[in-house]
């Protein structure tokens, strides 16, 4: 399925992109940070944004796409406002991860890899989220929750829908709400160097 036509980087994000690139001795080194910047704008990487990134980094659009497709945290097609990942690696599996994952599919009405009709949730199965001390571990837009059981998953969904977790979980694509305003730059240019840079069960 082809992603719908999107837009390129906004003027504000183009300015941020230039500042990010100024932090590196080689322009192409800013490729992954620029992918995250673009994803924070639209929730996924549009073809137009990848064209902008290619031009800014001095690489081909194919190289941007190839790099972005390598990383699980980057999406080339639209996803929900909340990307929910349930860990099913050994510690979480022993804690009942597959039961939680099956419950998540029933609760959201979608299968792993799908997005709900209202565009709110995309469900994913994660190999390991490095939260073994709070199995079953769940991530929502790369924010950790756990341990989570079936009832805890329902509670988590309710809090997301109600907006109760808006201060904790921003829309998908936003890794950090803090922008770096100082620091070294790789070039002597005038760029400011700004870059975008609870248990639920048991």
> Do residue 149 and residue 190 come from a single domain?
no
- 126 occurs within a structural domain: yes
- 6 occurs within a structural domain: yes
Report the candidate in 158, 142, 141, 156 with the shortest Cα–Cα distance to residue 199. 156
Residues 6+ positions from 118 with CB-CB distance below 8 Å: none
Is there a contact between 159 and 152 (Cβ–Cβ < 8 Å)?
A: no
- 168 occurs within a structural domain: no
Mean pLDDT, all residues of the chain: 87
pLDDT digits (tens, 9 = 90+) for 96-146: 999 999 999 999 999 999 999 999 999 999 989 999 999 999 999 999 999
Average pLDDT over residues 31-56: 94
- Position 196 confidence tier, pLDDT thresholds 50, 70, 90: very low
| Distance between start and end Cα atoms, the chain | 39
CA–CA distance, 85 with 174 (Å, rounded to integer): 16
CATH code, domain with 154: 3.40.30.10
Alpha-carbon dihedral 124, 125, 127, 133, rounded to 10 degrees: 100
CATH code, domain with 69: 1.10.10.1590
- 167 occurs within a structural domain: no
| Sheet (strand 143-145) strand order | 121-126, 82-87, 138-140, 143-145
- 202 occurs within a structural domain: no
Domain count, the chain: 2
> Do residue 128 and residue 63 come from a single domain?
no
- 108 occurs within a structural domain: yes
> Do residue 155 and residue 91 come from a single domain?
yes
Structural domain of 138 = 82-162
């Amino acid at each position: 399925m082809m992603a719908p036509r999107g837009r390129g980087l906004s003027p504000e994000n183009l300015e941020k992109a230039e500042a990010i690139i100024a932090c590196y001795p080689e322009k192409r080194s800013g490729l992954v940070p620029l992918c995250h910047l673009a994803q924070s704008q639209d929730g996924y990487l549009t073809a137009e944004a990848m064209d902008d990134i290619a031009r800014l980094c001095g690489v081909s659009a194919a190289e941007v796409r190839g790099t972005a497709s390598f990383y699980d945290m980057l999406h080339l097609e639209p996803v929900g406002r909340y990307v929910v990942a349930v860990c099913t690696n050994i510690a979480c599996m022993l804690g009942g991860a597959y039961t939680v994952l099956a419950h998540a599919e029933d609760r959201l009405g979608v299968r792993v890899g799908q997005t709900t009709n209202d565009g709110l949730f995309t469900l994913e199965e994660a190999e390991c989220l490095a939260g073994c001390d709070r199995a079953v571990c769940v991530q929502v837009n790369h924010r950790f929750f756990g341990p989570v059981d079936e009832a805890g998953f329902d509670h988590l969904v309710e809090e997301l829908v109600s907006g109760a977790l808006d201060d904790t979980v921003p829309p998908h694509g936003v890794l950090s709400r803090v922008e770096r305003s100082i620091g070294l730059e790789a070039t002597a240019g005038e760029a400011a160097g700004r870059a975008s840079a609870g248990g639920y069960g048991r």
